[in-house]
A and B are shown apart, each in its own frame.
Chain A
Amino acid sequence: MRVEALVKKRKYNVIFFAVLLILTLTSIVLTEFDAAKGITSIPRAIRWATSNFYPDIKSLEKIPRIWIKLRETIFLSIAATTMAAICAAFLALLGSKTTRVNRLLGAASRGISSIFRNIPLTAWALILLLSFGQSSLTGFFALFFFNFGFLARAFVDTIDEVSSDGVEALQAAGATYFQIIFQAVIPTCLPQMISWILFMIETNIRSATLIGILTGTGIGFIFELYYKSFQYHVASLVVIFIIISVLVIEFISNYVRRVIL
C-alpha cells in the first residue's frame, strides 16, 4: 500500500515536470524567443553598462535635482500607503471571519479588496491618467488603490490568524463589538499590520519609479528625462539613489519590526 503510494507520488512528479517542460518549450516557440541569442547578448549588455551606465563627476551636479524628486516620491509613497492602510483596516474588519458583521458584507468586502488588488499598478496608473492627467495625484491614487486592495487582504489574514482566540473569549464574556475590536483585535494585530505597512512603503518606492515614468512625476520622471536625453551618467546616478533609498527604508523598517514584534 505504502510502496504504491510512493510510486504514485513519483509518477505525479514526473508528469508535473514533463508538463512544465512542454509549457516552457511551447512558450519559447510561440514567442520566437531565441534562448541562445538571449544568453550570448548578456556580455554585450554588461559591456555597454560598464562603459556608459555609471555616474561621472559632471553628473554629480544634478544631485540636488534628483534629491528633490526622490523626496517627492518617498513622501508620496508614505502618504499613499498610510491613507490606504486606514481605509483597508475598516474593510478588513468587515471582511475577516472573526470580526465581520455578517456573511454578505464579508463577501462583498473581500470582493472589493480582490478587485483593487488584482488590477495591476500600471493599469491603475493608466486608467487614472485619463482623469487626473500627468500629475502626482495620478501616482498617489494609483498607489493608494493598489495598496488599499493589497493591505485589506493582508489585514484580513492577520486578524483571522492572530486574534480569533481573544475575540472568542471576549464574546463569551459579553463584550460589545467595538469593545472587542479595541480590546482584543487592535492590540493583537497592530504590530503585524504596521509590519505590512512598512513592507508596502518599501514596495511603493520601487514601483513609484515606474509610476513616475507613466505619470511624469517624481523620481521616475527624472530617470526617464535623463535616459531619453542620452545622459546615461545621470540616469545611472538616479538608479543608485533609488537603490540607496530602498535599502535605507528597508533598514529602518527592519529595525522598527524588531522593536515592535
Chain B
Amino acid sequence: MNLLEVTNLSKQYGHDLLALQNISFSVQNGEFVAVIGPSGAGKSTLLRCINRMIDPTDGEVVFDGVQMSKLKKNELRMQRRKIGMIFQHYNLVSRLTVIENVLHGRLGYKSTFAGIVSHYGKDEKKQAFEIIEMLGLTEQVYKRCDQLSGGQKQRVGIARALIQNPRMMLCDEPIASLDPSASKVIMDYLRNISTKLGITCLVNLHQVDVALNYADRIIGVNKGKIVYDGPPNLTPEEVYMIYGSAAGDLIFDVGGQHAS
C-alpha cells in the first residue's frame, strides 16, 4: 500500500495566485523522493500541504491510510507525530540546548502539562542520547543551539524529527543554507535514514545534481504543476522542461553530466 497518496491537490492564495494546481502523486513506503523545481514553483507549499501546516484549497492527502483534511485538531496532532519535518533554517529554539531541542520531538506524545514542565521519561531521554550519538553530536549535547554551526544545527533538526519515530520525513530545502561539505553530511544522513531505518523521505531540493545523486525518484514541479515524475536519470531536455528555458546552461551542464 502507498504510504502517501496525494490527489488533485490545489492551493490558491488570494484571488489569482495559484501556488499548486491539481497535484497528484503517491509515495511508497521507504522511498526517497526529491522534489525539484525553480524558486516559487510551489515546492514548499506542496510539502506543507501534506502535514497541513498549510491548508490546501482543494484535493486530498491520504497519509498512512488517513484522510488528512478530515482530521480535527487533536487527531491532526496525532497524525503529525508520524511525520518528521526538517526546515531550511533549522527552526530550532536557539536559546535552548541540543538535548532540549531534540526532546521537543516527543511533545506530541506527552500531556500538555508534562510538556510544559519538560517532564520526559527515562526511555525518551535514552533514545534522545542514542539518536544524538548516531548523528555525531555527543560533544554538543549540553551546548546551546545558537553556538552550533549550520550543519550541526541541521543535525539537531534531524534528531528532533527522528525521535518522533516518524513514518515519513518532509525535508524543506534541508541543505539550502549549508556549505557543500555540510550539505553532503546532511544528505548522507537523510539517505541513511531512508535505507537503514526504512523511513520515507520527501525532500525539496534546489540542487539538481544532489537530487539526481541521492533520490530514488524525482518529482519536477514548475508553476504549481508536476512536469516530471520518474527515475533519477533525467535528460537535459527534461531538466530544461522543469526549470524553463531561462535557466540557462548551468543547470544544463549539471543535468547533462549526471544523465550520461
Contact = CB atoms under 8 A, between A and B. Distances in A.
Interface stretch (A116-124, A180-188, A196-204, A208-216): A180-188
Given A172-B53, A176-B115, A178-B112, A183 B85 contact: no
Contacts of B84: 173
Contacts of A176: 77, 107, 112, 115
Contacts of B112: 176, 178-179
A173 B164 CA distance: 7
Interface in B185-232: none
Interface in B75-117: 76-81, 83-85, 87, 89-96, 104-105, 107-110, 112, 115-116
A206 to B, nearest CB: 31
Interface residues of B, number: 35
Interface residues of A, number: 19
Nearest to B103: A183
B92 A182 contact: no
A195 to B, nearest CB: 14
The SS class assigned to the A binding surface is helix
The SS class assigned to the B binding surface is mixed
A165 interface: yes
Contacts of A182: 115-116
5 contacts: A172-B53, A172-B170, A174-B76, A175-B108, A188-B93
Given A168-B91, A188-B93, 19 more contacts: A165-B89, A165-B91, A165-B92, A168-B87, A169-B85, A169-B91, A171-B53, A172-B83, A172-B170, A173-B108, A174-B78, A175-B107, A175-B108, A175-B115, A176-B107, A178-B115, A179-B116, A182-B116, A184-B93
Interface of A: 165-166, 168-176, 178-179, 182-184, 187-188, 191
